[in-house]
Structure 1
Amino acid sequence: MAADEFRLVSTHISNEGRLPRQYTQEGQGAKKNISPPLEWYNVPEGTKSLALVVEDIDAPDPNDPIVPWTHWVVVNIPPSLKGLPEGFSGKEEEVGGDFAGIKEGKNDWKVPGWRGPKLPNHGHRIQFKLYALDDEMHLGNTDKLLEAIEGHVLGEAVLTAKF
């Protein structure tokens, strides 16, 4: 990996490592289904905003063998930020400051914010994909967001965890 490469990392998840239980729907007590901490480095020059899409890239669909299942969508992340703290999901309004303007889209459970994986999906890969964009994006579902960013992507960084 080049030192100046656009990278996405987490202090709690190594690339291709296991997604800790507290970030799933199988956590215990209050430590359950909270968004993991994320950090990024070397945001491409000219980036106006960042967008994050987290998907189970091994999710089965009865009509199609593999259809990604969306766990989290976040748009309009300022490029000046260096990451999102643990438990950020659902609190963007409370946090304010540098986080003002960030919006969470609906996941495939049809609710906004982070929803971690749950049984019977063990063995799946959860892919965190951060896009550096040359514009701010309006919120919609994942398909519409992925269509909207076409032609606006300056770079992408990927972190993959196993569940």
Structure 2
Amino acid sequence: MTFRLSSTAFAHNEAIPAVHSCDGRNISPPLSWTKPPVGTKSLVLIVDDPDAPDPAKPKMTWVHWLLYNLPPTAGSLPAAVADADLPVGTLQGLNDWQRTGYGGPCPPVGNHRYFHKLYALDKVLADLRHPTKVMLEQSMKGHILAQTDLVGRYQRHH
């Protein structure tokens, strides 16, 4: 079976509902995934936007959410997941607002793509004490067994 990530809030390459953005309640979308490959010891979730600040002239990738050491048995995250409700053992990294937790789409202009990337790792990562995406990706090198992506789109209507 293929390792897959999905959401009941939006389909792959479809619009993310405003409730999950800065225009709404800014709550994380519900996410669920199929069983990771044999040998998976932990999962990493990275949500980022490679179209910042303007899809016509992207200059950076904006990081919205970093979770690591999710247990391979978790299977899902509910909508609006609170820190206290994350699966036991899950640690968080810093997003580009310099805080932990989910930060929803809030693009200044254009229709942006939001990549929800789930990685299956062959090890549990050390506590990196709120790492940046670069630090987290560095620690994952050589340990990725599988990856699955779910892309959502969001455009603000001013």
Q: TM-score, normalized by length of structure 2?
A: 0.89
Q: How does 1:38-117 map to 2 (within 5 A)?
A: 38-60=31-53, 65-88=58-81, 91-93=82-84, 95=85, 99-117=87-105
Residues 14-50 of structure 1: per-residue CA shift (max 9 Å, x gap):
00000110110001xxxx1001100000311100000
5+ unaligned residues in a row in structure 2: which ranges?
A: none
Alpha-carbon distance, 1:133 to partner: 0.4
Identity of aligned residues (%): 40
**Do the aligned residues in 2 keep the contact of 1:92 with 1:100 (CA within 8 Å)?**
no
Give RMSD over aligned pairs.
1.6
- Matching of residue 13 in structure 1 with residue 10 in structure 2: yes
Quick check: which one's strand share is greater?
2
- The Cα offsets for residues 87-106 of structure 1, whole Å up to 9 and x where unpaired, read as 11xx232x37xx11112211
Q: Aligned partner of 2:118: which letter?
A: L
CA contact (8 A) 2:53 2:107 kept: no
> Is the alpha carbon distance of 1:119 and 1:156 closer, same or farther for their aligned partners in structure 2, counting shifts above 3 Å?
closer
Quote the offset at 1:119 in angstroms. Answer: 3.9
The runs of 5 or more residues in structure 1 that have no matched partner are none
After TM superposition, what 4+ stretches of structure 1 lie above 6 angstroms from structure 2?
A: none
Within 1, Cα distance between the matches of 2:49 and 2:109?
9
